[in-house]
Amino acid sequence: MRAAGVTTAQLICHEDTWTKLHGLIPLLDRKPPPRVQALEGGLVEVTLSGPYIVTLLRTMYGSWLPGEITEQVIAERAYREFAKVIDAVDPEAKPGQPLPPIVLDDKIGQHGDG
């Protein structure tokens, strides 16, 4: 329900990850196509509408997804990151506060002092 009220959100991920996620959406639900902007390092920034996010979440939810394990793992990982941001949406909040981007770009952290 919260995702349905979102105007737009930004997804940042590798272009291959976006291709897999976008490919999970049934063809009839892919219009209009999201805006995709290339970033450095093979990443893309995808502008997603609330209805498109709802469709993605519905498609990604659960391990029942058909296809190979790659799609299932990507879908489950992406679903968790989408859920973190969408769960924080407050439908009663004043307009103007943008959503943080949904980022699928894990890094190895630095521990200690160097």
For residue 77, being part of any structural domain is answered with yes
Q: Give the range of the structural domain holding residue 75, as residue numbers without chain letter.
A: 3-104
The pTM of this model reads 0.82
Asked if residues 72 and 65 have their Cβ atoms less than 8 Å apart, the reply is yes
Instruction: Tell me the one-letter amino acid at 100.
Output: P
Split into its structural domains, the chain has a count of: 1
For residue 114, being part of any structural domain is answered with no
pLDDT-derived band at 103 (thresholds 50, 70, 90) equals very high
For residue 111, being part of any structural domain is answered with no
Asked if residues 72 and 30 have their Cβ atoms less than 8 Å apart, the reply is no
For residue 13, being part of any structural domain is answered with yes
| pLDDT for res 114 | 47
User: Of 42, 69, 54, which is closest to residue 2 (Cα–Cα)?
Assistant: 54
Helix, strand, or coil (residue 38): strand
As a whole number, the mean pLDDT across the chain is: 84
For residue 109, being part of any structural domain is answered with no
For residue 82, being part of any structural domain is answered with yes
